[in-house]
Chain A
Amino acid sequence: MPTAAGEPSARRRRLDTRVMLPALALALMLGVIFLLQPRAMSYNGLRLLLGLGLPLMFAAMAQLCVIAASDIDFGLGTFIGLVNCVAAKYLGGSPLLATSIFVGLVLAYAGMGAFIQLRRLPSIVVTLGASFVWLGLAVLVLPSPGGEVPAWLTQLVRLHPPFVPLPIVVAVLLALFGHWLFMRTSYGVVLRGIGSTPASLQRAGWSLLAARSTLFGLAGVFGVIAGLLVTGLNTSGDATIGAAYTLLSVAAVIIGGGEFVGGVVSPVGAVIGAFIMLLTGALLSFMNVSTDWQLSVQGAILILVLGTRVLQRRQT
């Protein structure tokens, strides 16, 4: 059947342009940075350039899980701050307690997904309320910035794998894992289906409750990892440290080819999107422009990439 054969390839082509556009933007940014500062092209240069991207790419992956359900997580940033505070306060002295808190937090995230599904609530408001809860808990755990970070965590984020710097190794592994999970497993199709065609999913015998809880639980897992990486990089705890991750993670997912509705997400794109958001700072400092303007550049890139995507769609 010609249509059946034609459809998947057409879909693949559309998906490719989704990832191609941000990949091109990232390559362009890296090109300009290397041109301005050739030393950035070395092992250590890349390690320093991309190091802070470690938590951001996991934050983006967490946000991707939620956006896959056509939901949005406005509490992710404060959640990362909470993980940061718990890690700084308990992980060194009582790792067992810290680990059980993290498991509890992941379960709380899964529970939030179940709650949204059961009561059919708008995720934007539930996660907004949750963001106050995470922030409050973080302040209760660590009233003022500080705490002690175990040495293994700070050493972990400073690992020097041979030939390829750590952020790139982790990025590739994370992108591949996300791609496998969402695009190559059959349950991944179900997980994306909850954001596009929940009714047919339900009719096919799948539990929407289980799927949404799984997606939010996964978001919790990625959020905890992001929080741990922040802790390793900053070597201290601070309840407000995560605030910026909420909006940056949304931007990374959308710039990487995701859509707010319809379960359209790209794990590979989200990782690329995270680096695009990250590199705006380096780009400006190499161009000798004040980093005061970093947010402007991030905003402009969002508008450019999304505007281009819309133009492309109109032409096809």
Chain B
Amino acid sequence: MMRAVPSRRWMDANRWVWSFIAAALVWSLTIASVAGRGAGATLGTALGFATFYAIVGVGQMLVVSTGGIYIDLSIPSVMMLAGYLSMGTMGARDAGLLPGIAVALAVGLAAGVVNVVLIRGARIPSMIATLASGFIMQSMTIAYSRHSTAKPAPMLLDFSLSHVLGVPTLALTFIVLTVGVGFVLARTTFGRSVLAVGQNARAAYLAGIPIPRTIAAVYIISGILASVAGLLLAAYSGGASLNMSEDFLLMSIAVVVLGGTSISGGRAMVAGVWGASLFLYLLVNMLNVLGVGAGVRYVVTGIIIIVVLALSDQHEGA
């Protein structure tokens, strides 16, 4: 009993471990079902796809961590717009690489600033503010898509498909970035502010934490991460398309929650975003390998999201 108590407390503070256990379990089941073939390849592909969920998931996680009233529904639209404008700027030429990247980042920054102005300036609830800005960006993309080639620079295409020691370069890059975000949350004033605002905004205010600046920062970071994800996903798929980000609204929220972050704010699990992204991709992959149709795949995914949520106590530790 004496030993059980601290370990349980450790698990409580490190809920992200569960998402990795689940991912590992699904991975081993998949490998077992195909008699051990392609274990490394499966993991490599999973890392490649999970990267995109993880990039936007980290942004959504930061926003959600500042409190239950904050959420970013504009993520898929930012991805679309950034993907299209950057690919259009590149026009399949290496000379367009840097301008294209700059355009993508500008889209993310602008989206974040607009969201902050609507939420903090005009006092519009975050759900409606980001919904409205998302609508506007989505229709800008549709209008733009009528006359653009939207193909990546060859260098970016090569980079997005490249591997280092068998691991996708993109995944490696963003694992490093995620570790950075984890460090910022745990060790810096800004990171502590995000969590403090999420736990109790009133107390955070009385403690002198600049709430407007903190909220502004998380929305701008979320916008920029979404634009980077849009840029890379468009490159990875060989060009932008209008439906490339349609799953990402639900997925960005799902990976945050399944990773152990509290949806009501104040508790962030950076590693969990990766664990949950891997888990969700591997789960879909396993059902594919087992020859299950799309219908069953969706039903299983949905039930797992609900069951995991019901098992994790959302109110504790916040």
A: residues with CB less than 8 A from B are: 72, 74, 115, 119-122, 124-126, 128-140, 143, 247, 250-251, 254, 259-261, 290, 292-296, 298-300, 302-303, 306-307, 310
> Whose C-beta in chain A lies nearest to the C-beta of B251?
A128
* B175–chain A nearest beta-carbon distance, Å: 26
Interface stretch (choices B31-39, B83-91, B225-233, B300-308): B300-308
Interface stretch (choices B5-13, B22-30, B48-56, B129-137): B129-137
B125 at the interface (CB under 8 A from A): yes
Beta-carbon contact of A140 and B122 below 8 Å = no
Give the complex CA separation of A254 and B299 in angstroms.
30
Partner of B139, one of A140, A296, A302: A296
Partner of B131, one of A124, A140, A250, A292: A250
* A240–chain B nearest beta-carbon distance, Å: 10
Beta-carbon contact of A296 and B305 below 8 Å = no
* B60–chain A nearest beta-carbon distance, Å: 12
Query: Known contacts A128-B254, A295-B138, A295-B139; is A72 also within 8 Å of B127 by CB?
Result: yes
Give the complex CA separation of A119 and B312 in angstroms.
10
Query: Known contacts A124-B263, A126-B306, A132-B298; is A254 also within 8 Å of B125 by CB?
Result: yes
> Whose C-beta in chain B lies nearest to the C-beta of A139?
B295
Beta-carbon contact of A310 and B124 below 8 Å = yes
The 3 closest A-B pairs by CB, nearest first: A136-B298, A132-B302, A136-B299
Cβ proximity bits B223-266 to A, threshold 8 Å, 1 near / 0 not: 00000000000000000000000000010011001000001100
Give the complex CA separation of A121 and B68 in angstroms.
12
Contacts of B309 in A (CB 8 A): 121-122, 125-126, 129
Interface stretch (choices B140-148, B182-190, B194-202, B208-216): B140-148
Partner of A136, one of B125, B132, B133, B296: B296
Contacts of A121 in B (CB 8 A): 309-310, 314
Beta-carbon contact of B132 and A300 below 8 Å = yes
Give the complex CA separation of A261 and B295 in angstroms.
34
Beta-carbon contact of B136 and A125 below 8 Å = no
Beta-carbon contact of A299 and B299 below 8 Å = no
> Apart from A136-B302, A300-B132, what are 7 other A-B pairs with CB-CB below 8 Å?
A72-B127, A124-B253, A128-B305, A129-B302, A129-B304, A296-B140, A298-B135
B294 at the interface (CB under 8 A from A): yes
B123 at the interface (CB under 8 A from A): yes
* A249–chain B nearest beta-carbon distance, Å: 11
Beta-carbon contact of A254 and B298 below 8 Å = no
Contacts of A302 in B (CB 8 A): 128, 131-132, 135
- For the residues of A in contact with B, the DSSP-based class is helix
Beta-carbon contact of B310 and A119 below 8 Å = yes
Contacts of B139 in A (CB 8 A): 292-296, 299
Partner of A131, one of B68, B118, B132, B302: B302
Beta-carbon contact of A290 and B143 below 8 Å = yes
> Whose C-beta in chain A lies nearest to the C-beta of B298?
A136
Pairs A–B under 8 Å by Cβ, sample size 11: A121-B309, A121-B310, A122-B68, A122-B309, A124-B253, A124-B263, A130-B302, A136-B302, A137-B299, A250-B131, A296-B140
Partner of B136, one of A124, A132, A295: A295
Beta-carbon contact of A122 and B132 below 8 Å = no
Give the complex CA separation of A261 and B67 in angstroms.
14
Contacts of A296 in B (CB 8 A): 135-136, 139-140
* B318–chain A nearest beta-carbon distance, Å: 11
B166 at the interface (CB under 8 A from A): no
B297 at the interface (CB under 8 A from A): yes
Considering residues A261, A303, A310, which has the most beta carbons from chain B within 10 angstroms of its beta carbon? A303
Give the complex CA separation of A78 and B301 in angstroms.
14
Contacts of B303 in A (CB 8 A): 129, 133
B315 at the interface (CB under 8 A from A): yes
Query: Known contacts A130-B302, A292-B146; is A125 also within 8 Å of B263 by CB?
Result: yes
> Whose C-beta in chain A lies nearest to the C-beta of B256?
A125
Contacts of A72 in B (CB 8 A): 127
Beta-carbon contact of B127 and A293 below 8 Å = no
Give the complex CA separation of A74 and B133 in angstroms.
18
> Whose C-beta in chain A lies nearest to the C-beta of B310?
A119
Query: Known contacts A140-B295, A292-B139; is A122 also within 8 Å of B128 by CB?
Result: no
Give the complex CA separation of A143 and B263 in angstroms.
34
> Whose C-beta in chain B lies nearest to the C-beta of A126?
B306
Beta-carbon contact of A303 and B305 below 8 Å = no
Contacts of B68 in A (CB 8 A): 122
